[in-house]
Structure 1
Amino acid sequence: MGQTPLIEKRHDGGFLVTEARGHRSRDIVVLGGAAMILAGQVLGLKAGGVASAAAAAANTGNGAITMDASTPVLSGGQLGVYKAICTAAAANGGTFAVTDPAHNALGNATVGTAFSNQIKFTIADGATDFVVGDEFDIDVIAVNGVYEALNFSASDGTQTAAAISFATVDATLADQSGLVVIRDAEVNSGELIWPSGATPAQIAAASAQLVALGVIPR
């Protein structure tokens, strides 16, 4: 009597051959790129922090806050929520006290002038002036950058192999936290996912970049 062959489907961590004890081989990072990241997908690192900002619902002033487009997170930036709270109101202006996620004071932000200490943003005046107590929250979700699918034609860092996604993560609509294999591991080269159309030379070069991290394709 014949037996139906068992076919193992792709699953979380299925590409791993060996890894270090404990959690040394893995890190939790931010995955992005407006794409579905698959288990075993080779990733590159787009340097730079990621932060979003929003006004408190109860604000009187209707001015807006804008994070710096190129470097919203600066040296010393921390994960978590920063706050900017209005401490002095003025016609077409105002002063906001800025604190880090641990509630340490970072200085004052003046309406219309860029604030630059751990995070970088500008608060703009609106049609309705700010009042004391108006607040903006700045949520820093990544300080070192975002991992995206490897892209050999890029020039933003994602052209260099930097990690392998442990699991499938849907980052099509927004950046998501995800687990990656980033060091001290052996992986099955046949189960890695490379960019569509990757040439043998490109795969060989990217594999060497993984080896330099201590992630060895077999």
Structure 2
Amino acid sequence: MGNPTYTPFQENWHNGGFLVSQANGHQSIEQGTLTGGVKVLAGTVLGTVLSALTAVAAALGTNTGNGTFGPITPQAAPATMIGTYSVALTSASAFSVTAPDGQTATGTVGSAFSGLGVGFTITAGATPFVAGDTFALVTTATPGNPTIASSAGTNTGNGTIGTLSVQGYAAKAGVYSVEFDDATHFVVSDPTGAEIGHGTTGAVFKAGGLSFTITAGGTAFVPSDSFTITIAAGSSKYKPFDPANVDGSQIPSAILFASKDVTNMDKPCAVVVRLAEVNASELVWPTGMGAAAIAAALAQLKALTIIPR
């Protein structure tokens, strides 16, 4: 009597099968909308659809709104800092303030602001402010009594900001600010006012999901010269990740929990976005994607606290 023959068991692809572990409760998973026009398997690495980046060469203080700024008063506690305070409108009625040391606070148009060592009121005009309108407060050192002045106007320097692209991980929707410290050095802040990096004219800046180069012109930049970089919200739908895409989904941002067929219409979906360990061998990638590109994408997922094993 010969040895019996057995048919090997092959496990079907199933929902959540790629997960090794996840955070308690629902911390690892979010709800979203899946698009792409194809059937998408559980474990497929996804990106988030954003509309194209746009750069607006707007000098600090060159505003759409025609409201007024002031009067400005120094404060004793906390003490007024010497340097440049940046005030950026985040909407028609709200603004953020960044102190010379990088601390931030928020305020409302029409209400007195007091904090970070300064006090002032921004008054709305007949033309509403828009997100990206800005003011600069320049404080100078006078013993025991610092003086403060607000500034407006166009950039002194006539350099240009070059082609923008998404880099590393998804950029945030909103208005980024680029402000010069001197003729060649600048600081970049994201839409929440958080500083994301420092750059130098003539060199590629890459941080916070952005990549761009500022080229110096015949007239040098001066402190408080600035640009704004606006990232539109796009649809914020999830779509199968592909490094060849150009709509934002070329950056990994999530993993699909359950298979969905979106051939004919977009559908709600559950996605793993953070605080999880995943089986790298069970993730689904674009056809023909090479090992180096997969390794780079896995590193991007790791930065989101999605850890491949």
Q: Secondary structure at the match of 2:244?
A: coil
Q: Secondary structure at the match of 2:49?
A: strand
Aligned residues: 126
> Deviation at 1:210?
0.4
> Percent of counterpart pairs with the same letter?
47
Q: Secondary structure at the match of 1:28?
A: strand
1:5-44 CA distances to partner (integer Å, 9 max, x unpaired)?
A: 3321110000000111111110110000111111000001
In structure 1, what is the equivalent of residue 282 of structure 2? 191
Q: Secondary structure at the match of 1:180?
A: strand
1:147 aligns with 2:263: no
| Mapped partners of 2:50, 2:31: distance in 1 | 16
Q: Secondary structure at the match of 2:298?
A: helix
In structure 2, what is the equivalent of residue 34 of structure 1? 37
Of the two structures, which has the highest relative contact order with CA contacts closer than 8 Å and spacing of 6 or more?
1
In structure 1, what is the equivalent of residue 263 of structure 2? 172
> Deviation at 1:3?
4.6
In structure 2, what is the equivalent of residue 107 of structure 1? none
In the alignment, structure 2 segments of 5+ residues that lack a partner are: 52-90, 92-232
Amino acid at match of 1:15: F
In structure 1, what is the equivalent of residue 160 of structure 2? none
1:210 aligns with 2:284: no
Amino acid at match of 1:40: G
In the alignment, structure 1 segments of 5+ residues that lack a partner are: 49-74, 76-141
Amino acid at match of 2:35: G
Amino acid at match of 1:32: T
Q: Secondary structure at the match of 2:281?
A: helix
Amino acid at match of 1:13: G
Match of 1:15 among 5, 10, 18: 18
Amino acid at match of 1:23: H
Match of 1:44 among 31, 47, 69: 47
> Deviation at 1:47?
2.2
- The CA RMSD over aligned residues, in Å, is 1.9
| Mapped partners of 2:302, 2:282: distance in 1 | 16
Q: Secondary structure at the match of 2:268?
A: strand
> Deviation at 1:188?
0.5
In structure 2, what is the equivalent of residue 156 of structure 1? 247
Tell me if structure 1 keeps the 8 A contact 2:18–2:283.
yes
Equivalent runs, 1:63-74 vs 2, <5 Å = none
The structure whose Rg is larger is 2
Amino acid at match of 1:187: V
Q: Secondary structure at the match of 1:205?
A: helix
1:51-89 CA distances to partner (integer Å, 9 max, x unpaired)?
A: xxxxxxxxxxxxxxxxxxxxxxxx9xxxxxxxxxxxxxx
Q: Secondary structure at the match of 1:17?
A: strand
Give the TM-score, by structure 2 length.
0.39
| Mapped partners of 1:173, 1:206: distance in 2 | 28
Give the TM-score, by structure 1 length.
0.54
1:138-182 CA distances to partner (integer Å, 9 max, x unpaired)?
A: xxxx98611000111112111111100001111111111001111
